[in-house]
């Protein structure tokens, strides 16, 4: 089987772009190679790998899990079914966090529910003066994040535990989080490859706000005076999140949209400890 024949074999079964990306990974070639030398034969192991991957993709498994990696902010992060696949809308949270940290000489940042580490590592690499601590309840997720930190050369203090438990008695200038915020029973959980992702990182098994309530409720005890809390949430949760922040004593809560114009990140500043 040649490169061209491999792409033809996947036609009608999976998306054309997915077929190309899978073939590039299986064959160890580039897009330019596919265009310039489509007659190049695939080795038997590469062909078997590619066709197995096509089967998995046709069954709905996300491309990132099949190839074991995904891009975020121009960096390649390793991923597994133990962590969520990075999504571009989370860049809004990183950008807002970098903006809040920019005026501080040596900011201390806490990332709650770090997953693959995309937020913590991006902040550590793009704000090298910061001290970044990252927490996750999943030991498997912490392992993935630590591996990504080693590959990317990022200095992050990873801790295993439930939300604020691993940072008892510590305070930070900035707390960031991308918690589970999909309500139990939401039909989206059955679509677009979400059944393959860790459900505990997607939904709180409740109304979609229980983890956010926990994060907001514990933030004041772990923020310095003037510190910020920023977190990602669902498209229809902005107003509720601002109300929760106000009820917890935060000042001038705000919600920011992602690049699609959808409410995505809310946050506020604490001025009295």
Q: Mean pLDDT, to the nearest integer, of 150-164? A: 97
State the pLDDT at residue 103: 85
Cβ neighbours of 121 (radius 10 Å): 28
Indicate the pLDDT class of residue 171, thresholds 50, 70 and 90: very high
On average, the pLDDT of the chain sits at 95
Q: Domain-by-domain residue ranges, the chain?
A: 3-59, 82-269
User: Is 82-269 assigned to CATH 1.10.760.10?
Assistant: no
Strand 172-177 and strand 108-112: the pairing is parallel
Separation CA 190–CA 181 (nearest Å): 15
Q: Mean pLDDT, to the nearest integer, of 238-252? A: 94
Instruction: Give residue-wise pLDDT tens across range 101-129.
Output: 998 999 999 999 999 999 999 999 999 99
SS3 category, 75:
strand
> Percentage of the chain surpassing pLDDT 90?
92
State the pLDDT at residue 173: 97
> Percentage of the chain surpassing pLDDT 70?
99
How many degrees, rounded to 5, is the angle at CA 135 between CA 149 and CA 139?
80
CB-based contact 188:136 (threshold 8 Å): no
Indicate the pLDDT class of residue 272, thresholds 50, 70 and 90: low
In the predicted structure, residue 37 carries a pLDDT above the cut 70 = yes
State the pLDDT at residue 58: 95
In the predicted structure, residue 273 carries a pLDDT above the cut 70 = no
Extended strands (E) in the chain: 69-72, 75-78, 108-112, 131-136, 157-160, 172-177, 223-232, 251-257, 263-269
State the pLDDT at residue 117: 98
Instruction: Give residue-wise pLDDT tens across range 18-36.
Output: 999 999 999 999 999 899 9
Which residues neighbour 80 within 8 Å (Cβ) at sequence distance 6 or greater? 65, 68, 140, 144
CB-based contact 29:46 (threshold 8 Å): no
């Amino acid at each position: 089987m040649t490169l061209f024949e491999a792409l033809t074999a996947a036609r009608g079964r999976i998306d054309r772009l997915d077929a190309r990306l899978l073939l590039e990974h299986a064959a160890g070639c580039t897009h330019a190679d596919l265009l310039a030398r489509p007659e190049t034969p695939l080795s038997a192991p590469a062909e078997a790998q590619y066709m197995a991957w096509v089967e998995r993709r046709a069954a709905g498994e996300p491309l990132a899990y099949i190839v074991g990696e995904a891009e975020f902010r121009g960096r390649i992060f390793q991923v597994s079914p133990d962590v969520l696949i990075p999504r571009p809308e989370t860049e809004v949270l990183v950008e807002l966090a970098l903006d809040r940290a920019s005026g501080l000489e040596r900011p201390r940042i806490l990332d709650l529910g770090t997953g693959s580490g995309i937020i913590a590592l991006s902040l550590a690499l793009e704000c090298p003066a910061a001290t970044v601590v990252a927490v996750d309840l999943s030991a498997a997720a912490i392992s993935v994040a630590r591996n990504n930190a080693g590959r990317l050369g990022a200095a992050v203090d990873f801790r295993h535990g439930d939300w604020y438990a691993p940072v008892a008695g510590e305070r930070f200038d900035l707390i960031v989080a991308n918690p589970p915020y999909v309500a139990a029973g939401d039909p989206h959980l059955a679509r677009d490859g979400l059944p393959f992702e860790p459900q505990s990182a997607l939904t709180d098994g409740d109304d979609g706000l229980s983890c956010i309530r926990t994060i907001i409720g514990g933030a004041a005890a772990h923020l310095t005076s003037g510190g910020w809390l920023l977190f990602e949430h669902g498209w229809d949760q902005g107003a509720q999140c601002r109300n929760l922040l106000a009820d917890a004593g935060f000042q001038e809560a705000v919600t920011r949209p992602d690049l699609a114009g959808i409410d995505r990140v809310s946050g506020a500043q604490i001025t009295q400890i």
